[in-house]
Amino acid sequence: MKTTVKELPGETMELQMGPSHPATHGTIKFNLKLEGEKVLDCDVEVGFLHRGFAKSCEQAIWTQVIPYTDRLNYASPLINNVGYAMAVEKLLGIETPPRCRFIRVIVSELSRIFDHLTCCGMSASELGAITVGFYMMEARELIMRIVEAVTGARLTVTYVRIGGLKHDLPHDFDDQVGRAFEKVRRILADCDRLLSRNRIFIDRVSNVGVISKETALAYGLTGPLLRATGVSYDVRKADPYLVYNQMEFEVPLGVKGDNYDRFVVRIQEIEQSMRIVEQALKRLPPGPIMLEDPRIALPEKEKVYNSIEGLMNHFKLIMEGIKVPPGEVYFAVEGGNGELGFYIVSDGGGRPYRIRVRPPSFIGMSAFHEMIKGHMVADIVPTFGMINMIGGECDR
Amino acid sequence: MERVNPTIEYLQEKFAAKILDSHAFRGDDTIVISGAGLREFFRSLKEDPKLDFNFLTDITAVDYLGKKEPRFEVVYHLYSLLLKHRLRIKVPVPEEDPVVESLTPLWRGADWLEREVWDMFGIRFHGHPDLRRILLYEEFQGYPLRKDYPVNQCQPLVPEREVQDTFVDQRSHNKLMQLQHNIGAKSRS
C-alpha cells in the first residue's frame, strides 16, 4: 500500500504579536509573516519604553545620572551602576580603594545571579514548568534580601558612587550570604532535577532559536547568547576590570547556540558567580570604601555641620557636581546579558555632554529574526525569553 | 598624555592619507578618518591579520553644535576577539548633507545600530537596506539627541495609523460587523 502525503496549499498570513502580549514580559511587537504556524519572517519593533535616557543624562550633573542607570536593566541595576561609575572614573583618571573594588565585584555578581534567575525562572514557567518558576523566584527573593540589606532598596538601588560606594556592607553580611547561597544551591539542584533531563522541556528548547557562531559575531551578540554558540568572550576575562583577575572562575560555554545551551550557560554562570562572591568575601580587605578626595567625595556630616570648609565643599559638590575633564572614554563591563558599554563624552562643564549605552539586549533583539525564522509561533516566547530583553535597557 | 601606541602607529603607516588625527586618551586608541571610502577602510581593518577587528561593538554619534566643524561625528567602536584590542573610529559628518556609508554589508549587526543613529541624529547611512526609525515612531518630528532639540519639546498628536490586510484586522472587522448587525437586529425588534 502506498500512502501519498499531500502538501496543503499554504497561504501567507500576517500577524502582529504585541506590543502588550501576555506571554512576552516586556513591551515589544513582532510583525510576523506566517505560513500556517511556521514563521517565515519576523520584523521586531522596539522602543515602546523609550524615555530619552541619553537626553535626560545630558541635563543632569554626573552624580545624578546614577539613578537613571538603575532603570536601564532593572534586573541587574548594580552592574549598571558599577559600569557607569567606572566609566566616569576612567575619564577622571582615578582609582577606587581596594575594599570598594571588592564590594563592587560582590554586588555585581549578586546582580548577575539575580538576572539569570529571573531569566531562567520566567522562561521555564512560560514553558509550563511553573514549579521551577516559583522555585527560582524564591531563590531570587533570597538574593534580593541581601541586595536590600546592602543598599536599602530592591530595584532602584543607586548604591555605587563616582569614586566609591554609598556605604559599607552590613556587619553580618558573610552570614547572610552563606545562608542564602546554601538555599540557592539547594533550589538550583532541585530545578536541575526537574528540568535537565525533562523530555517536555528539552523538546521545547533544544534545537530552537539556533544561531551559528559566525552569525552571532556578525550581529555583535555578547554574553550568554554568544557564549552559547561556543565563543569564549567574557569582558571579565578578556579585559578584567575591578579585581576579576584575582578571582578564579570559569566561563561556561555552549555548543549549538540553541535555547537549551543558553539556559544551561546561564544556570552554570549562577554557580560561577556564587564562587566569585565567596572568594571576594574571603579576601575582602579592610579600609575606606570611598576615595578621599574633596573634589569627588562628599565630606563627612561631622565636617559639614561644624566647619565652613566642609559646608562649602558639600555645597559645591551638590550644586555644581563633580568636575570631569574634557575627553571621551569607552568602558565596558559584563552585564547580565552581555557587554554593557558606556561611551561618555565630557566637554569640561559640570554635565555629561553625551552618554551612550551599548545595550546588550537591544543588540540581542536585532538578531531575533535570524533565530526564529523557520520555527513555530510557539517558539517565539521561549526564544524571546532566553534573550532576556529588558525594556528599560533595550529602549532606553 | 600622548603615548606611542603600536596599533595607531601601524595604522598611520598603512593608511597615512586616510587618517586625519589620532590619540590614545586614557588608553582608548582613537583615530579620526574622513567619510570617503569608509566601507573599504573598515573592510581592511576587519581583514588585516595584524589588526583583525572582527567584532563591531557599537555605532553612535555625537552632536558638537557650535563646538566643532563639521557638526556631527559618527563614532564606531571595534574590538578584536583574537588580539583583544579595541579601536575607536570617528568620522566627521557635515550638517548640510549628513550621510555616511553603511556598514551593513560587513556586519549585519550594524543594521539596528545605524537605524538608531538615524532615529536620534538624522544621519543617513548610504546603502542601508531598511533605514527606518527604530525607537521612535515614523511620525516623530525632529531628531531628539541633536543639541538644538529642546528637552521639553512636545510632539503633535498623530492620527491612528491604518493597518490593512492583516489577519487580526480582518477578524476584528468581521466581529465588529457581526456586533453591529446584532445590535441592529435587537433595536429593530
Average pLDDT over residues B100-119: 89
Q: What is the pLDDT of residue B82?
A: 84
Q: What share of chain A is helix, strand, coil (3-state, %, to 5)?
A: 50, 15, 35
Average pLDDT over residues B42-65: 86
**A45-395, which class in CATH?**
mainly alpha
Nearest to A220 among B30, B107, B166 (CB): B107
**CA distance linking residue A327 with residue A310, whole number of Å:** 29
Q: What is the pLDDT of residue A39?
A: 87
Report how far Cα A193 is from the mean position of its chain's Cα atoms. 26
Task: Report the share of chain A in percent with pLDDT over 90.
Answer: 17
Superfamily of domain B6-159: NADH:ubiquinone oxidoreductase Nqo5 subunit (3.30.460.80)
Q: Show residues of chain A in contact with B145, CB under 8 Å.
A: 54-55
The residues, any chain, with a CB within 8 Å of residue B87's CB and separated by 6 or more, are: B7, B29, B30, B31, B45, B51, B53, B77, B78, B79
CA of A51 to nearest chain B CA: how many angstroms apart?
A: 10
Nearest to B26 among A59, A329, A395 (CB): A329
Helix orientation angle between A173-195 and A259-283, rounded to the nearest 10 degrees? 160
Q: Show residues of chain B in contact with A46, CB under 8 Å.
A: 134-135
Q: What is the pLDDT of residue B14?
A: 75
Q: What is the pLDDT of residue A113?
A: 92
**Spatial CA neighbour of B109 closest among A369, A62, A153:** A369
The mean pLDDT of chain A is: 87
Per residue in A359-386, pLDDT (tens digit) is 998 998 888 888 888 888 888 888 888 8
Interface test with A, best of B74, B79, B85, B130 (most A CBs within 10 A): B79
Contact of A173 with chain B, judged by CB distance below 8 Å, is answered with no
Inter-chain touch B30–A217, beta carbons under 8 Å:
no
**CA distance linking residue A109 with residue A278, whole number of Å:** 10
The three cell numbers locating residue B124:
543617513
Question: Residue with C-alpha cell 543558553?
Answer: A262
Contact of A234 with chain B, judged by CB distance below 8 Å, is answered with no
Helix (H, G, I), strand (E, B) or coil at A188: helix
The three cell numbers locating residue A79:
552592574
Helix orientation angle between A98-126 and A259-283, rounded to the nearest 10 degrees? 150
Task: Report the share of chain A in percent with pLDDT over 70.
Answer: 98
Look at the alpha carbons of B99, B105, B107, B112 in this order and tell me if their dihedral is positive or negative: positive
Residue B66 one-letter amino acid: G
pLDDT-based confidence at A342, cuts 50/70/90? very high
Per residue in A235-287, pLDDT (tens digit) is 888 888 888 888 888 889 888 888 889 988 999 999 999 999 999 999 889 88
A42: which strand partners?
A32
ipTM of the complex: 0.83
The three cell numbers locating residue A283:
579576601
Inter-chain touch A219–B86, beta carbons under 8 Å:
no
Inter-chain touch A327–B26, beta carbons under 8 Å:
yes
Per residue in A124-153, pLDDT (tens digit) is 888 888 888 899 999 999 999 999 999 888
Average pLDDT over residues B107-121: 90
Q: Show residues of chain B in contact with A363, CB under 8 Å.
A: 109, 112-113
Q: Show residues of chain A in contact with B56, CB under 8 Å.
A: 220
Q: Show residues of chain A in contact with B120, CB under 8 Å.
A: 54
Q: Show residues of chain B in contact with A59, CB under 8 Å.
A: 151
* Shortest CA distance from A32: residue in chain B: B166
Inter-chain touch A218–B108, beta carbons under 8 Å:
yes
CA of A365 to nearest chain B CA: how many angstroms apart?
A: 9
**CA distance linking residue B137 with residue A236, whole number of Å:** 37
Average pLDDT over residues A31-47: 85
Alpha helices (H) in A156-233, listed in sequence order: 173-195, 199-205, 213-219, 224-227
The residues, any chain, with a CB within 8 Å of residue B131's CB and separated by 6 or more, are: B114, B115, B118, B124, B125
Interface test with B, best of A44, A214, A328, A363 (most B CBs within 10 A): A328
B124: which strand partners?
B99
Q: Contact A108/A79 with Cβ under 8 angstroms?
A: yes
In which region does residue A250 sit, left (phi positive, over 0), alpha (psi from -120 to 50) or beta (all else)?
beta
**CA distance linking residue A210 with residue A206, whole number of Å:** 9
Question: Residue with C-alpha cell 583583525?
Answer: B52
Domain residue spans of chain A? 45-395
DSSP string, A102-140: HHHHHHHHHHHHHHHHHHHHHHHHHTT-HHHHHHHHHHH
Per residue in A203-235, pLDDT (tens digit) is 888 888 888 888 998 998 998 999 999 888 888
Average pLDDT over residues A155-181: 88
Interface test with A, best of B2, B22, B26, B117 (most A CBs within 10 A): B26
The three cell numbers locating residue A366:
536585532
Contact of B62 with chain A, judged by CB distance below 8 Å, is answered with yes
Domain residue spans of chain B? 6-159
Q: In the predicted model, is pLDDT for residue A25 greater than 80?
A: no
The mean pLDDT of chain B is: 82
Q: Could you give the C-alpha distances from B132 to A18, B116, B136, B148, B160, in angstroms and in order?
A: 19, 9, 10, 22, 19
Nearest to A218 among B109, B134, B135 (CB): B109
Q: What is the pLDDT of residue A124?
A: 87
Instruction: Give A 74-133 residues with CB within 8 A of chain B.
Output: 90-91, 93
Q: What is the pLDDT of residue B167?
A: 56
Instruction: Give A 326-365 residues with CB within 8 A of chain B.
Output: 327-330, 332, 339, 341, 343, 345, 347, 353-354, 356, 358, 362-363, 365
| CA distance from start to end of chain B | 89
Q: What is the pLDDT of residue A30?
A: 87
Inter-chain touch B77–A341, beta carbons under 8 Å:
yes
| CA distance from start to end of chain A | 62
Q: In the predicted model, is pLDDT for residue A18 greater than 60?
A: yes
**CA distance linking residue B112 with residue A219, whole number of Å:** 10
Alpha helices (H) in A21-76, listed in sequence order: 53-59, 65-70
Average pLDDT over residues A113-124: 89
The residues, any chain, with a CB within 8 Å of residue B128's CB and separated by 6 or more, are: B102, B104, B111, B114, B115, B118
Q: In the predicted model, is pLDDT for residue A46 greater than 60?
A: yes
